[in-house]
Structure 1
C-alpha cells in the first residue's frame, strides 16, 4: 500500500458537480484531489462518438442545460456557451381523423396562439397556458436565485414567492389538481405534466408530491425555465470545468476507484485503487459526488432506505435526414428542434403509469425527442453536416427499473420497438428508413435502461437524481447548505444533495461554499 500527500479536500467523483467544487476550492487556495473511477471526467455529462466510424459526438446521457447558474460560468471563467431553442415543443395528435399538433414557439406568441386554436378550436387553452406559465415564471424568478445561497426555511421561501395560490399549486397540493383546474384539453394537460415525470415514476395525483418536486426543478432554471442546448455537446461543459479546476491547481486523477472513507469528523482517510494498487490519502474534508447509497457503502455504514427507482429510457440516434411528418403544416426542422412529445396526452400518461405499476411495459410508451444538431451542428463532422445528417435524443417516461430486472436485454429491445412504433404513427415515413449506418453497417441507434445507467454510472436503480428530489428549503437533517451529512467533514456534492439533480453545478458550488465557511 502506498501513501500519498495529504490534501485540504479530496473529491470522490469527477462528474460536473465534483469539478465545480474542485474549481471553486482550488481557486480559493485549497489543495484539492479529485478521484474519478472511470478513465475520463464528466460522469453523466459527457460527449462520445457512440457509433463506430461515424464522426458525430453525442451527449450520451445528460443532454440539455436548464439549472446551471450563470454565476458559476462567470465565477470560474468557463469557456462554455448555450443556445436557446426557437421552438419550445411540438406535440402531434390526430383529431377527427386528421393529423394535427401543437407547436409552442418561444419567440412568436401569435404563432403559438394560432397553434392552440388549430388544435382546440378556440383560444381558451392558450389563455390558460399563458396564465399558468406566467405563474411558474414568477415562482422561478424568486426561487432560482436561492439555489446558490444557504437553504431558506420553508416560511422564508413561501414569503419570497409571495403568491399563496402558486405555493399551494406547486408545494402543497398534487400537481394534477392545478393542471386539471387550469386546462381542459387532454393533450395540453399532458404536455404540462411531462415536466413532472422526467426520470420520476409518479402520477399527477401522487400524494407524495414527488411529481411536484420534479416539476419545480424543471420550470425554474435560470429564472425562466428554458432548457438550452450546450454548444459542442454536454462534454464541452465538463471539459471546460476540468480545465478550470486544473488551471486553479486541483489535481484530477482518473482510473482511481475509491474503496473506503474513514473519518473522525475532523480529518479523514480515503483509500482508492489505481494502476499502482491500493493507495491512501489524508484530507481535512471529503466531498462525495456519488449517490448517498454509495457514500454509505464507502463509510461502511448501513445504507439509507432504497431510493425511488429510475424510470426512463434514453435513446441516441443519428439520422441521414429528418423524417417527414404526417402533419404537413409543420416543418420537421421546427418540430424536432424543440421537445417532440409522443404519446404524452394526460390520459395516455396515466394509462402508461398504471401498466408499469402492474409490471407491464407501457403499451404506448410515452417519450420526448429533440434534435441537438439543428441548434448546434458543431457536434457533427463537416461531411455529415453538409449531407444533412441530424442527431435525435429520445427520453422515455414511465419505464421503472423493475420492468427490466428479469431480462434487461429483452425488455430494452421490446420497449425500443414499441417506442419507435409510437413515433412512426406520426411520421410520413418510418424512422428506421432515416437512420444512418455505422462503419459495420449497423443502424446508428443505442438505448439505455435504468439498469444500464446503474451499471454504467452507479446511479441507484437508474435514478438520475440519486434519490428523491427535495423541495429547496430546510428540513430535518438538511443542514445549512443542503450538502451536509452526519459527519462534519464529509459532504455530498452530487445530485443527491438538496437542490441536486439535473446539470446544474449547484451541489458542487454549495459544497464548496460549506467548506469555505469553516
Structure 2
C-alpha cells in the first residue's frame, strides 16, 4: 500500500508565532518526545490528525456501551524509565499484570504459561522439554538483557565524512563492542543465532514437543508477515521479550482503561509541562526552505513555524507524502521507497454477552485473563502464512485473543465483556488487485468462526464487532501497509540501519527535520524509547541536556 497523500495543498497562511518544536503526529512516541523537550525548556506544539491523541494506542467505544483498546492492545514494552520520567502513574496510569501469561488450547489438552506454572505444564507433553526450559529461559534472558540495555541508546551512526568527524560514532561503536565482548561465547553464539536464524529453527533446536514451540513461536510472527521458519524471525521473538510490567521482566499486563490510558497520561504530562496539543490538525506538507525544515502546512491552509520539526510518522509516510521529493538525496529517497512495511495483521474488537468456554478447558477461570493463542503448532503458523500469500488470508488463521474486561470492568457493562482479536496472517495487499474494503466482513466472519471452533458458542455470544483490515489500519492510524512496527524488524532495518544507514541518530537528510517514531531504533511496540532517544539527540543540537 502506498502512503496516503493530501488531496490538495492549500496556499500557506502563516501564523506569526514561532515555536521551538513542532511534533507531527500525536502517537505515544510523539508525546514522549514532546514531554522531554518541554521539560528542558523548549516551546513545543504537537499536531495530531485525528480528534484524539494516542495514535494506535487509544481506547474508544466500538459498540454501544463497550470500549476497548482499538489497535494496540496489551502492555509490556513500555519502558520503565519513560514511565518514571513522565511520572505517568501520577498522571493516572495503572497497569496490572495478567494473572496467567498465556493459554494455548489444543485438540487434546492445553498449555498454560506463567510464573510457577510453565514447567509443570510443559511436562505434560515432554519431560525432556520441561528439563530444558530453565536453561532456555536463562540463556535467552542473557541476550535479552544485553539488548535491553541498548534500547535507550542511539545506535552508532555510520555517516559519510572524515575520520575525525566520525570519532564520536566510532567511540560509540567501540563501547558497544566492549559490551558484546563481555558476553560469554555461548551468549555470543546465541546472539548470532537469534539475529540470523528463523524462530522455527531456533526452537526446534531446543524442544521436541509442538505446544511449547507454538507458545514461544507465536511471538516471532506477531506483526511479522512471515513464516516462523523465515530467517530473521527469531529476532522478532526476541524483540517481544524486552519488556516488563511493574518491575517483572518478560511479564505482560493491562492498562486500566485500555491502551488509551497510557497516552492520555502522557498527554496530561505534556500539558503540565506546557506543551500545546492540537487535535484535528492534519499536516499536508513539511516545507523545505534553504535546505532546512522550519514550517509545516496544515490541510486547513494554516502554516506553523518552528526552529525544528519532529515527525512521529512512518518514514514512508513522512518522506513519501509530506516532503518535496526534490529536497531528498537520490539514494536516500530510493532506500525509503524500498523500506519494507506490512504486518499481515487483521485486528478485531468484539462485544460479548458472556465469557467464552473453551473445549480444552471449559468454564470460567484465570486462563481467560491470559493471552489466548489459537495456533497449536509452528506448522500451523507456516501454513497460515502460505495461505495468506496465495489467497490473501488463511482459512485457519492465527489468533491471539485477550478478554481485558476480566480484569478491567470499566470496559463493558456488568456481566458482559470485550475481546481483542489479534489475527495473523492476512496479506497487506490482496492478490489479484482485490480491495480490502470488499472483503472486511468476510474475513471477520472467518476469525469469529475460528474462535468458535476452539470455544463453541462464541459466535452466539457476539453482540457486535469492529474489524480493521491492513488498509483500515493505514488510513486510520497511519500504519503503512497495516504495519504495527512502522517497518519490518528485519536485519537490514534494525539498529544503525533503522530506517536507513547513515540516519540512525533521528536526524534526517534535511536540516532541522527529525524522526521520533517506531521507524527508528529500537523499533515498534508501545515502548516510548524512540521518543526518548530522539529528544536526547534534539536537545544536543539545541545545546541542552535531558533532564
Give the structure-2-normalised TM-score.
0.84
1:513 aligns with 2:536: yes
Alpha-carbon RMSD across the aligned residues, in angstroms, is 2.3
Q: CA deviation at 1:498?
A: 1.9
Structure 2 counterpart of 1:474, from 490, 496, 500: 496
Corresponding residue of 1:44: 56
Q: 1:341 touches 1:369 (CA, 8 Å); kept in 2?
A: yes
Map 1:479-518 onto structure 2 (within 5 A).
482-518=505-541
Structure 1 counterpart of 2:436, from 378, 397, 408: 408
1:392 aligns with 2:419: yes
Whole-angstrom CA distance in 2 between matches of 1:145 and 1:199: 23
Corresponding residue of 2:352: 319
Q: CA deviation at 1:87?
A: 0.7
Map 1:111-150 onto structure 2 (within 5 A).
112-118=118-124, 120=125, 122-150=126-154
Corresponding residue of 1:183: 207
Corresponding residue of 1:440: none
Corresponding residue of 1:256: 281
Closer/same/farther in 2, CA of residues 44 and 499 from structure 1, 3 Å limit: same
Corresponding residue of 2:464: 444
Q: 5+ residue gaps in structure 1?
A: 436-442
Whole-angstrom CA distance in 2 between matches of 1:333 and 1:265: 63
Q: 2:46 touches 2:275 (CA, 8 Å); kept in 1?
A: yes
Corresponding residue of 2:318: 295
Q: CA deviation at 1:15?
A: 0.8
Whole-angstrom CA distance in 1 between matches of 2:141 and 2:236: 16
Q: CA deviation at 1:344?
A: 4.0
Q: 5+ residue gaps in structure 2?
A: 1-12, 157-172, 326-332, 542-547
Range 462-471 or range 350-359, more displaced: 462-471
Whole-angstrom CA distance in 2 between matches of 1:266 and 1:127: 61
Q: 2:346 touches 2:426 (CA, 8 Å); kept in 1?
A: yes
1:25 aligns with 2:42: no
Q: CA deviation at 1:161?
A: 4.8
Corresponding residue of 1:215: 237
Q: 1:271 touches 1:278 (CA, 8 Å); kept in 2?
A: no
Q: 1:90 touches 1:338 (CA, 8 Å); kept in 2?
A: yes
Q: 1:288 touches 1:295 (CA, 8 Å); kept in 2?
A: yes
Q: CA deviation at 1:394?
A: 0.8
State the secondary structure of the residue aligned to 2:137.
helix
Whole-angstrom CA distance in 2 between matches of 1:172 and 1:307: 18
Structure 1 residue ranges, 4+ long, deviating more than 6 angstroms after superposition? none
Corresponding residue of 1:348: 380
Corresponding residue of 2:159: none
1:371 aligns with 2:403: yes
Whole-angstrom CA distance in 2 between matches of 1:234 and 1:161: 36
Q: CA deviation at 1:85?
A: 0.8
Q: CA deviation at 1:418?
A: 2.2
Q: CA deviation at 1:40?
A: 1.5
Q: 2:342 touches 2:480 (CA, 8 Å); kept in 1?
A: yes
Q: 1:262 touches 1:269 (CA, 8 Å); kept in 2?
A: yes
State the secondary structure of the residue aligned to 2:151.
helix
